[in-house]
Structure 1
């Protein structure tokens, strides 16, 4: 298991992502001052996102089934816990976007390769 989002497991048999891109922001309010730098005050954590780009090949796994399952999860609007194979808990995330592109089609229209990207947004608190 590479990663689990709720009950969906990212693995070789489902969707194996190529990268895990994690971005976090922290908010600082500013107040203008004359003759010096603006005053700042830390106001708390901002947005945290994770992007999972990758490719799945039809000979290994039917990626369209896994992508459809993730789309169904996204349609609920629910938050899902995100845990990696080592047991590290990232927090609760919602699915905000799924992009997929089929390439190299079989005669019946089934793609040999699907490139995908899944966008996640953290919705819980650090102390949760």
Structure 2
């Protein structure tokens, strides 16, 4: 497993990721003073965003079901735990943006290859994280019905 976003597992197949970017900040409050550098005080963690991107080949190895599950998580605003493949828990995130590009369209309108990017933003965890996981599982089963 490469990453686990709630109940959505990213692995080498069928739903892979080949690039990860993480941007995070710290918040500092500056206090103006006369005749010197303004001292600053750490006020907490700032924004923390992760972007995962990859290339799917749906006609050969699949991956569209998992991509649709990610869209369902984005549309519901689910707050889910994110874990790296080595077991390190990154925190609670929500999917804020997704993009996909279908190339070399097949007869069914799906690309032979699909490039995608998923952007997640760190958020405050729900009081009951278990309900988010259950909600994610229900969304997963909902994706299979279509």
> How does the TM-score come out when normalised to structure 1?
0.88
Q: Offset at 1:108? A: 2.9
Q: Which has the higher helix share?
A: 2
What stretches of structure 1 of length at least 5 have no aligned partner? none
**1:82-110 C-alpha deviation (Å, 9 max, x unpaired):** 11222111111111111101001113322
Point out where structure 2 has 5 or more consecutive residues left out of the alignment: 126-146
Residue 71 of structure 1 aligns to a residue whose secondary structure is helix
Query: Alignment partner of 2:66: what SS?
Result: helix
Deviations 1:50-73 (A, max 9, x none): 000111112443333221111111
Question: Which residue in 1 is equivalent to 2:63?
Answer: 63
Aligned position for 1:49: 49
Q: Are 1:31 and 2:31 an aligned pair?
A: yes
Cα RMSD for the two superposed structures: 1.6
Greater strand share, 1 or 2?
Answer: 1
CA distance in 2, matches of 1:60, 1:83: 27
Residue range with higher mean Cα deviation, 104-113 or 20-29: 104-113
Runs of 4+ in 1 over 6 A off after TM superposition: none
1:122 positional shift? 1.0
User: How high is the TM-score relative to the length of structure 2?
Assistant: 0.78
